[in-house]
């Protein structure tokens, strides 16, 4: 992915290297959705964090050169999502795109959706319309999860921003209302469809990044597809020494995640990402 020397996003809230209290920058919003949509690349369920909200504060570990390089990369990747989704909203939906803020932290921080740490993985909080990302996660992604490469990391950012797109379109509010009325197994099934749609949206972003921005390099899509494989629920459970239990899946299998990313990439059309109407995932 060609990213060095390119425009970075101004919608970054950097909480690394210092204690943080309150709001420092960017766009926010009072979301009406009582749900946390987790990147959950480590397969962690964060719904218990919704029992209450906490003040925005953080405890930061020292910022390394690798962390700083990751922050610069994230800023460019976020800027790319802003350019792409602004175009898509204009061309395909006839409306303006309101971008998300991305919170960078190192160690522990708080969001209206609950606490964030390296163990939670990246996630999107619709209550303040922000993506939360510990810059050390990219090391985990590469070394522990086996998804290396800068475009694999860009896929992480694009997937979380895709949840913001779902929030902008009112999809998250609809799914939360339904999930509150059904069983845990049925709720998990809805979560899978939500996450696979985010993967499909990520594929659309990659298609536009190729055609509109010209930033893709040979091997980039393979990196994203490998990342989708490594973070499938079945793969994560096997790697944890467990027998995969489909009724507990919340994000989809490796094959499903790859297939929906590919669908978005091949079509470039937001209408092809309707996982909720699909008879088969």
- List per-block mean pLDDT (blocks of 10 residues) for the chain, which spans 281 residues: 87 75 30 31 35 41 77 93 97 96 91 83 92 84 75 91 96 91 94 96 96 92 92 91 93 96 97 95 92
CA torsion angle 218 223 226 227 (round to 10): -160
The pLDDT score that the predictor gives to residue 61 is 64
Tokens of 126: 């619709």
pTM exceeds 0.75 for this model:
yes
The pLDDT score that the predictor gives to residue 233 is 92
The pLDDT score that the predictor gives to residue 26 is 29
The pLDDT score that the predictor gives to residue 140 is 78
Query: Which of 74, 223, 218 minimizes the C-alpha distance to 146?
Result: 223
The pLDDT score that the predictor gives to residue 60 is 54
Q: Cα angle at 102 between 116 and 105, to 5 degrees? A: 45
Q: What is the DSSP letter of 48?
A: G
Number of Cβ within a 10 Å radius of residue 25: 12
| Alpha helices, DSSP H, located in the chain | 65-88, 137-139, 150-168, 171-179, 184-208, 220-230, 233-239, 254-267
């Amino acid at each position: 992915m060609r990213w060095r020397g390119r425009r970075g996003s101004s919608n970054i809230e950097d909480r690394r290297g210092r204690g943080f209290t309150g709001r420092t920058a960017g766009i926010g919003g009072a979301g009406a959705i009582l749900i946390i949509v987790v990147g959950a690349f480590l397969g962690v369920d964060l719904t218990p964090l919704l029992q209450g909200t906490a003040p925005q504060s953080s405890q930061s570990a020292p910022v390394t050169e690798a962390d700083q390089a990751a922050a610069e990369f994230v800023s460019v990747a976020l800027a790319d999502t802003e350019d792409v989704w602004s175009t898509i909203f204009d061309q395909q939906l006839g409306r303006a795109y309101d971008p998300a803020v991305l919170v960078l932290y190192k160690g522990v921080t708080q969001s209206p959706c609950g606490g964030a740490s390296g163990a939670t993985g990246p996630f999107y909080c619709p209550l303040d319309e922000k993506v939360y990302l510990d810059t050390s996660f990219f090391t985990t992604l590469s070394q522990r999860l086996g998804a290396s490469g800068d475009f694999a990391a860009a896929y992480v950012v694009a997937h979380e921003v895709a949840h913001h797109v779902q929030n902008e379109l009112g999809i998250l509010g609809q799914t939360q209302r339904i999930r509150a009325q059904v069983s845990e197994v049925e709720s998990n099934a809805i979560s899978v469809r939500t996450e696979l749609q985010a993967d499909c949206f990520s594929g659309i972003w990659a298609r536009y990044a190729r055609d509109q921005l010209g930033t893709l390099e040979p091997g980039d899509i393979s990196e994203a597809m490998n990342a989708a494989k490594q973070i499938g629920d079945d793969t994560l459970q096997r790697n944890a020494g467990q027998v995969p239990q489909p009724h507990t899946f919340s994000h989809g299998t490796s094959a499903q995640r790859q297939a929906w990313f590919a669908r978005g990439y091949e079509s470039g059309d937001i209408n092809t990402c309707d996982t909720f109407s699909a008879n088969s995932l």
